[in-house]
Amino acid sequence: MVKHMIIWKIKEDCDNKKAVKENVKRELEALNGKIAGLVEMHIITDGLPSSSGDLMMDSLFENAESLKAYQKHPLHQHTANTFVRPNMCQRLSLDYEI
C-alpha cells in the first residue's frame, strides 16, 4: 500500500477560500470508487490556525503503480485542472509505503 499526501496553499488573491476548499473536497472525494487502485481519499479542510497549509489530501493506493496510473487518469486530470491547480500557489507532497 502507498500513502499519497498533499498539502496545498490557496492563492492569496482568492476571493472565496471556503468555496475553493468545499469544491476541492467534493470533487476529489468523488473520485473514490471510480479509479482502479485508489483505496481511499480524504480531503482535510479544517486545519488548526497553527497550520501553514490550507487543505490536505490524505489518500491510499494499492501500490506505486496504482498511484502513477491515478496521476494520469482523465478523471483526476479533469478535477486537478478544473478545481485544484487554478486556485493553488503551493503544493507539497509525500508518498510512502505502508
Q: What is the pLDDT along the chain (98 residues), one digit of tens a residue?
A: 999 999 999 999 999 999 999 999 999 999 999 999 999 999 999 999 999 999 999 999 999 999 999 999 999 999 999 999 999 999 999 999 99
Q: Which residues contact 57 (CB under 8 A, 6 or more apart)?
A: 4, 5, 6, 8, 28, 41, 42, 43, 44
pTM over 0.75, yes/no: yes
Q: Give the 3-state secondary structure of residue 87.
A: helix
Whether residue 55 contacts residue 8, with contact meaning beta carbons closer than 8 Å, is answered with yes
**Chain centroid, CA 30 distance in Å:** 11
CA dist 7 and 53 (Å) reads 6
Whether residue 11 contacts residue 20, with contact meaning beta carbons closer than 8 Å, is answered with no
